[in-house]
Structure 1
Protein backbone atom coordinates (compact mmCIF):
# COMPACT_ATOMS: atom_id res chain seq x y z
CA UNK A 1 0.00 0.00 0.00
CA UNK A 2 1.21 3.48 -0.88
CA UNK A 3 1.30 5.87 2.07
CA UNK A 4 -1.27 8.65 1.78
CA UNK A 5 0.11 12.14 2.25
CA UNK A 6 -1.33 15.42 3.50
CA UNK A 7 -1.62 18.50 1.27
CA UNK A 8 -2.41 22.08 2.28
CA UNK A 9 -3.51 24.86 -0.05
CA UNK A 10 -3.55 28.07 1.98
CA UNK A 11 -3.09 31.81 1.60
CA UNK A 12 -5.15 34.88 0.76
CA UNK A 13 -5.19 34.32 -3.01
CA UNK A 14 -7.86 32.89 -5.28
CA UNK A 15 -7.43 29.28 -6.31
CA UNK A 16 -7.18 27.08 -3.21
CA UNK A 17 -10.39 25.17 -3.93
CA UNK A 18 -9.56 25.14 -7.63
CA UNK A 19 -6.17 23.54 -6.89
CA UNK A 20 -7.84 20.90 -4.72
CA UNK A 21 -10.39 20.20 -7.46
CA UNK A 22 -7.58 19.82 -9.98
CA UNK A 23 -5.88 17.23 -7.81
CA UNK A 24 -9.24 15.54 -7.33
CA UNK A 25 -9.77 15.37 -11.10
CA UNK A 26 -6.31 13.89 -11.57
CA UNK A 27 -6.97 11.28 -8.87
CA UNK A 28 -10.40 10.45 -10.29
CA UNK A 29 -8.94 10.09 -13.78
CA UNK A 30 -6.41 7.62 -12.37
CA UNK A 31 -9.13 5.43 -10.86
CA UNK A 32 -9.15 6.76 -7.30
CA UNK A 33 -12.36 7.44 -5.39
CA UNK A 34 -12.56 11.09 -4.31
CA UNK A 35 -14.66 12.67 -1.59
CA UNK A 36 -14.75 16.44 -1.26
CA UNK A 37 -16.40 17.78 1.89
CA UNK A 38 -17.07 21.50 1.63
CA UNK A 39 -17.33 23.51 4.82
CA UNK A 40 -18.95 26.97 4.98
CA UNK A 41 -20.09 26.72 1.34
CA UNK A 42 -23.51 26.03 -0.09
CA UNK A 43 -23.78 28.09 -3.28
CA UNK A 44 -24.44 26.12 -6.46
CA UNK A 45 -21.21 26.04 -8.43
CA UNK A 46 -20.15 24.85 -11.85
CA UNK A 47 -17.83 22.23 -10.39
CA UNK A 48 -20.58 20.76 -8.19
CA UNK A 49 -22.85 20.43 -11.20
CA UNK A 50 -20.18 18.61 -13.24
CA UNK A 51 -19.21 16.34 -10.34
CA UNK A 52 -22.82 15.43 -9.55
CA UNK A 53 -23.78 14.78 -13.19
CA UNK A 54 -20.72 13.13 -14.68
CA UNK A 55 -18.28 11.80 -12.08
CA UNK A 56 -19.75 8.90 -10.10
CA UNK A 57 -16.50 8.21 -8.22
CA UNK A 58 -16.04 11.84 -7.18
CA UNK A 59 -18.51 12.78 -4.46
CA UNK A 60 -19.10 16.26 -3.10
CA UNK A 61 -20.79 16.63 0.29
CA UNK A 62 -21.72 19.91 1.91
CA UNK A 63 -24.10 21.35 4.43
CA UNK A 64 -26.40 24.28 3.97
CA UNK A 65 -23.51 26.66 4.70
CA UNK A 66 -23.76 30.23 5.88
CA UNK A 67 -26.02 32.76 4.23
CA UNK A 68 -24.07 35.69 5.70
CA UNK A 69 -20.71 36.53 7.18
CA UNK A 70 -20.08 35.17 10.66
CA UNK A 71 -19.68 38.68 12.10
CA UNK A 72 -23.27 39.38 11.01
CA UNK A 73 -24.66 36.20 12.64
CA UNK A 74 -26.63 35.98 15.85
CA UNK A 75 -25.35 33.71 18.63
CA UNK A 76 -28.00 31.13 17.64
CA UNK A 77 -26.90 31.21 13.99
CA UNK A 78 -23.26 30.77 15.03
CA UNK A 79 -24.22 27.83 17.23
CA UNK A 80 -26.12 26.23 14.35
CA UNK A 81 -23.20 26.73 11.97
CA UNK A 82 -20.77 25.22 14.48
CA UNK A 83 -23.01 22.15 14.82
CA UNK A 84 -23.14 21.81 11.03
CA UNK A 85 -19.34 22.03 10.77
CA UNK A 86 -18.98 19.30 13.39
CA UNK A 87 -21.51 17.12 11.54
CA UNK A 88 -19.62 17.56 8.27
CA UNK A 89 -16.29 16.79 9.94
CA UNK A 90 -17.76 13.65 11.53
CA UNK A 91 -19.12 12.61 8.12
CA UNK A 92 -15.65 13.06 6.59
CA UNK A 93 -13.94 11.14 9.41
CA UNK A 94 -16.44 8.27 9.17
CA UNK A 95 -16.06 8.04 5.39
CA UNK A 96 -12.27 8.01 5.74
CA UNK A 97 -12.27 5.33 8.43
CA UNK A 98 -14.71 3.14 6.45
CA UNK A 99 -12.44 3.38 3.41
CA UNK A 100 -15.07 5.12 1.29
CA UNK A 101 -12.46 7.25 -0.50
CA UNK A 102 -8.84 7.26 -1.57
CA UNK A 103 -8.56 11.06 -1.60
CA UNK A 104 -10.38 13.20 0.95
CA UNK A 105 -10.59 16.94 0.27
CA UNK A 106 -11.57 19.05 3.29
CA UNK A 107 -12.39 22.31 1.54
CA UNK A 108 -12.30 25.41 3.78
CA UNK A 109 -11.59 23.36 6.91
CA UNK A 110 -8.83 25.82 7.77
CA UNK A 111 -11.46 28.57 7.82
CA UNK A 112 -13.43 26.47 10.28
CA UNK A 113 -10.42 26.44 12.58
CA UNK A 114 -9.86 30.19 12.19
CA UNK A 115 -13.55 30.77 12.96
CA UNK A 116 -13.30 28.51 16.02
CA UNK A 117 -15.89 26.05 14.70
CA UNK A 118 -13.29 23.27 14.96
CA UNK A 119 -10.17 23.11 17.08
CA UNK A 120 -6.66 22.57 15.78
CA UNK A 121 -6.52 19.48 17.97
CA UNK A 122 -9.61 17.90 16.38
CA UNK A 123 -8.03 18.24 12.95
CA UNK A 124 -4.51 17.19 13.98
CA UNK A 125 -5.90 14.14 15.82
CA UNK A 126 -7.68 13.11 12.64
CA UNK A 127 -4.57 13.62 10.50
CA UNK A 128 -2.38 11.66 12.93
CA UNK A 129 -4.85 8.75 12.97
CA UNK A 130 -6.10 8.72 9.37
CA UNK A 131 -5.94 5.46 7.42
CA UNK A 132 -2.38 4.97 6.17
CA UNK A 133 -3.26 4.96 2.47
CA UNK A 134 -5.62 7.96 2.60
CA UNK A 135 -4.50 11.11 0.79
CA UNK A 136 -5.92 14.26 2.45
CA UNK A 137 -6.17 17.83 1.17
CA UNK A 138 -7.00 20.78 3.43
CA UNK A 139 -7.83 24.22 2.05
CA UNK A 140 -8.39 27.66 3.50
CA UNK A 141 -6.60 30.72 4.77
CA UNK A 142 -4.27 30.88 7.74
CA UNK A 143 -3.12 27.29 8.12
CA UNK A 144 -2.04 26.78 11.75
CA UNK A 145 1.59 25.82 12.30
CA UNK A 146 0.59 22.56 14.00
CA UNK A 147 -1.18 21.43 10.84
CA UNK A 148 1.60 22.67 8.56
CA UNK A 149 4.02 20.52 10.56
CA UNK A 150 1.94 17.39 9.85
CA UNK A 151 1.61 18.12 6.13
CA UNK A 152 3.76 16.71 3.36
CA UNK A 153 2.87 19.42 0.81
CA UNK A 154 2.14 23.05 1.69
CA UNK A 155 1.34 25.54 -1.05
CA UNK A 156 0.61 29.17 -0.30
CA UNK A 157 -1.53 31.00 -2.83
CA UNK A 158 -0.84 34.70 -2.49
CA UNK A 159 -3.09 37.48 -3.72
CA UNK A 160 -1.20 40.04 -5.76
CA UNK A 161 -4.25 41.54 -7.43
CA UNK A 162 -7.95 40.61 -7.44
CA UNK A 163 -10.97 42.15 -9.25
CA UNK A 164 -12.84 42.35 -5.92
CA UNK A 165 -10.41 45.14 -4.99
CA UNK A 166 -12.00 47.17 -7.81
CA UNK A 167 -15.52 46.33 -6.65
CA UNK A 168 -16.08 43.54 -9.20
CA UNK A 169 -18.13 40.79 -7.49
CA UNK A 170 -17.64 37.05 -7.98
CA UNK A 171 -18.74 35.88 -11.42
CA UNK A 172 -20.56 32.65 -12.26
CA UNK A 173 -18.24 30.24 -14.03
CA UNK A 174 -15.10 32.02 -12.81
CA UNK A 175 -15.33 32.40 -9.03
CA UNK A 176 -18.22 29.95 -8.53
Structure 2
Protein backbone atom coordinates (compact mmCIF):
# COMPACT_ATOMS: atom_id res chain seq x y z
CA UNK A 1 0.00 0.00 0.00
CA UNK A 2 1.29 3.44 -0.86
CA UNK A 3 2.17 5.83 1.93
CA UNK A 4 0.24 9.08 2.03
CA UNK A 5 1.22 12.67 2.82
CA UNK A 6 -0.33 14.49 5.79
CA UNK A 7 -0.17 18.17 6.68
CA UNK A 8 -1.15 19.67 10.02
CA UNK A 9 -1.22 23.43 9.59
CA UNK A 10 -2.95 26.50 11.00
CA UNK A 11 -2.63 28.80 13.97
CA UNK A 12 -4.20 26.50 16.56
CA UNK A 13 -2.44 24.45 19.22
CA UNK A 14 -1.91 20.78 18.52
CA UNK A 15 -0.11 20.33 15.20
CA UNK A 16 2.92 18.61 16.71
CA UNK A 17 0.72 16.75 19.17
CA UNK A 18 -1.35 15.34 16.29
CA UNK A 19 1.79 14.27 14.44
CA UNK A 20 3.25 12.61 17.54
CA UNK A 21 -0.05 10.84 18.15
CA UNK A 22 0.01 9.42 14.64
CA UNK A 23 3.64 8.39 15.17
CA UNK A 24 2.77 6.59 18.41
CA UNK A 25 -0.11 4.81 16.68
CA UNK A 26 2.22 3.67 13.88
CA UNK A 27 4.92 2.63 16.36
CA UNK A 28 2.34 0.63 18.30
CA UNK A 29 1.61 -1.30 15.10
CA UNK A 30 5.26 -2.18 14.57
CA UNK A 31 6.18 0.61 12.16
CA UNK A 32 9.52 2.44 12.30
CA UNK A 33 9.04 6.16 12.90
CA UNK A 34 11.40 9.13 12.64
CA UNK A 35 10.51 12.64 13.74
CA UNK A 36 12.77 15.44 12.50
CA UNK A 37 12.15 18.69 14.35
CA UNK A 38 12.99 21.94 12.60
CA UNK A 39 13.41 25.14 14.65
CA UNK A 40 12.83 23.38 17.96
CA UNK A 41 15.66 22.85 20.38
CA UNK A 42 14.24 23.14 23.87
CA UNK A 43 13.43 19.99 25.78
CA UNK A 44 9.79 18.97 25.30
CA UNK A 45 7.55 16.31 26.77
CA UNK A 46 7.14 14.57 23.44
CA UNK A 47 10.92 14.33 23.12
CA UNK A 48 11.15 12.63 26.52
CA UNK A 49 8.38 10.17 25.61
CA UNK A 50 9.84 9.35 22.20
CA UNK A 51 13.19 8.57 23.86
CA UNK A 52 11.43 5.70 25.66
CA UNK A 53 10.22 4.26 22.34
CA UNK A 54 13.65 3.90 20.74
CA UNK A 55 14.64 2.34 18.40
CA UNK A 56 11.15 2.08 16.88
CA UNK A 57 10.39 5.81 17.21
CA UNK A 58 13.31 8.21 17.09
CA UNK A 59 13.62 11.96 17.15
CA UNK A 60 16.32 13.98 15.42
CA UNK A 61 16.68 17.69 16.03
CA UNK A 62 19.10 20.58 16.08
CA UNK A 63 20.55 21.11 19.53
CA UNK A 64 21.83 24.54 18.48
CA UNK A 65 18.32 26.02 18.68
CA UNK A 66 17.49 27.25 22.16
CA UNK A 67 14.49 29.52 21.55
CA UNK A 68 11.28 29.57 19.56
CA UNK A 69 11.78 31.20 16.17
CA UNK A 70 9.81 34.31 17.19
CA UNK A 71 12.20 34.81 20.14
CA UNK A 72 15.39 34.57 18.04
CA UNK A 73 17.53 37.49 17.04
CA UNK A 74 18.43 38.09 13.40
CA UNK A 75 21.92 36.75 14.04
CA UNK A 76 20.58 33.56 15.67
CA UNK A 77 18.30 32.99 12.69
CA UNK A 78 21.20 33.44 10.26
CA UNK A 79 23.39 31.02 12.22
CA UNK A 80 20.96 28.13 12.04
CA UNK A 81 20.53 28.00 8.25
CA UNK A 82 23.18 25.29 7.81
CA UNK A 83 21.71 23.21 10.63
CA UNK A 84 18.24 23.36 9.10
CA UNK A 85 19.55 22.38 5.68
CA UNK A 86 21.38 19.43 7.28
CA UNK A 87 18.20 18.34 9.06
CA UNK A 88 16.31 18.28 5.78
CA UNK A 89 19.10 16.35 4.04
CA UNK A 90 19.10 13.84 6.89
CA UNK A 91 15.32 13.39 6.62
CA UNK A 92 15.53 12.82 2.86
CA UNK A 93 18.40 10.34 3.29
CA UNK A 94 16.47 8.40 5.94
CA UNK A 95 13.35 8.39 3.78
CA UNK A 96 15.24 7.03 0.79
CA UNK A 97 16.99 4.36 2.91
CA UNK A 98 13.75 2.43 3.28
CA UNK A 99 14.42 1.92 7.01
CA UNK A 100 11.45 4.08 8.07
CA UNK A 101 7.74 3.58 7.59
CA UNK A 102 6.67 7.05 8.75
CA UNK A 103 8.62 10.30 8.85
CA UNK A 104 7.39 13.42 10.61
CA UNK A 105 8.85 16.77 9.50
CA UNK A 106 7.81 18.89 12.46
CA UNK A 107 7.75 22.65 11.83
CA UNK A 108 9.01 22.24 8.29
CA UNK A 109 6.58 24.98 7.22
CA UNK A 110 8.37 27.43 9.54
CA UNK A 111 11.69 26.38 8.03
CA UNK A 112 10.27 27.07 4.56
CA UNK A 113 8.72 30.40 5.51
CA UNK A 114 12.01 31.44 7.14
CA UNK A 115 13.86 30.76 3.88
CA UNK A 116 15.94 27.81 5.10
CA UNK A 117 14.34 25.25 2.79
CA UNK A 118 12.54 25.97 -0.47
CA UNK A 119 9.01 24.94 -1.41
CA UNK A 120 10.51 23.35 -4.54
CA UNK A 121 12.80 21.12 -2.44
CA UNK A 122 9.91 19.90 -0.32
CA UNK A 123 7.60 19.33 -3.30
CA UNK A 124 10.36 17.39 -5.06
CA UNK A 125 10.91 15.27 -1.95
CA UNK A 126 7.18 14.54 -1.65
CA UNK A 127 6.90 13.57 -5.31
CA UNK A 128 9.99 11.32 -5.16
CA UNK A 129 9.60 9.74 -1.73
CA UNK A 130 9.44 5.94 -1.57
CA UNK A 131 5.93 4.74 -2.38
CA UNK A 132 5.38 3.05 0.98
CA UNK A 133 6.59 5.93 3.15
CA UNK A 134 3.94 7.78 5.15
CA UNK A 135 4.98 11.44 5.49
CA UNK A 136 3.69 14.00 7.98
CA UNK A 137 4.53 17.71 7.84
CA UNK A 138 3.57 20.36 10.37
CA UNK A 139 3.64 24.11 10.76
CA UNK A 140 1.67 27.27 10.18
CA UNK A 141 0.96 28.67 6.73
CA UNK A 142 1.52 25.56 4.62
CA UNK A 143 2.29 26.79 1.08
CA UNK A 144 -0.35 26.01 -1.54
CA UNK A 145 2.12 24.07 -3.70
CA UNK A 146 2.78 21.71 -0.80
CA UNK A 147 -0.91 21.43 0.04
CA UNK A 148 -1.56 20.37 -3.56
CA UNK A 149 0.81 17.36 -3.31
CA UNK A 150 -0.59 16.20 0.05
CA UNK A 151 -3.31 13.63 0.62
CA UNK A 152 -4.52 14.86 4.02
CA UNK A 153 -4.56 18.51 5.05
CA UNK A 154 -5.87 19.43 8.48
CA UNK A 155 -6.05 23.08 9.45
CA UNK A 156 -6.01 23.59 13.18
CA UNK A 157 -7.73 26.86 13.96
CA UNK A 158 -7.17 28.92 17.09
CA UNK A 159 -10.47 30.05 18.54
CA UNK A 160 -9.07 31.03 21.91
CA UNK A 161 -5.60 30.63 23.42
CA UNK A 162 -4.34 31.37 26.96
CA UNK A 163 -1.29 33.16 25.52
CA UNK A 164 -3.67 35.99 24.59
CA UNK A 165 -4.31 36.39 28.34
CA UNK A 166 -0.60 36.42 29.17
CA UNK A 167 -0.40 32.74 30.15
CA UNK A 168 2.88 31.33 28.87
CA UNK A 169 3.67 27.79 27.74
CA UNK A 170 3.49 25.29 30.59
CA UNK A 171 5.76 22.27 30.99
CA UNK A 172 3.93 19.06 30.21
CA UNK A 173 1.05 20.83 28.47
CA UNK A 174 2.47 23.09 25.76
CA UNK A 175 6.05 21.76 25.82
Q: CA deviation at 1:9?
A: 0.2
Gaps of 5+ in 1: none
- The RMSD of aligned alpha carbons is 1.4
Provide closer, same or farther for how the CA distance between residues 99 and 142 of structure 1 changes in structure 2, counting only shifts above 3 A. same
1:122 maps onto 2:131 in alignment: no
Give the TM-score, by structure 2 length. 0.95
Q: CA deviation at 1:72?
A: 4.7
The count of residues paired between Structure 1 and Structure 2 equals 174
Which residue of structure 1 aligns with residue 67 of structure 2?
67
1:23-172 counterparts in 2 under 5 A?
Answer: 23-64=22-63, 65-67=65-67, 69=69, 72-75=72-75, 77-172=76-171
State how far apart, in whole Å, the 1-side matches of 2:170 and 2:13 are. 13
**Conservation of the 8 A alpha-carbon contact between 2:40 and 2:68:** no
The runs of at least 4 aligned residues of structure 1 exceeding 6 Å deviation read: none
Provide closer, same or farther for how the CA distance between residues 50 and 61 of structure 1 changes in structure 2, counting only shifts above 3 A. same
Provide closer, same or farther for how the CA distance between residues 79 and 165 of structure 1 changes in structure 2, counting only shifts above 3 A. same
Secondary structure of the equivalent of 2:80? helix
Give the TM-score, by structure 1 length. 0.94
Q: CA deviation at 1:82?
A: 1.1
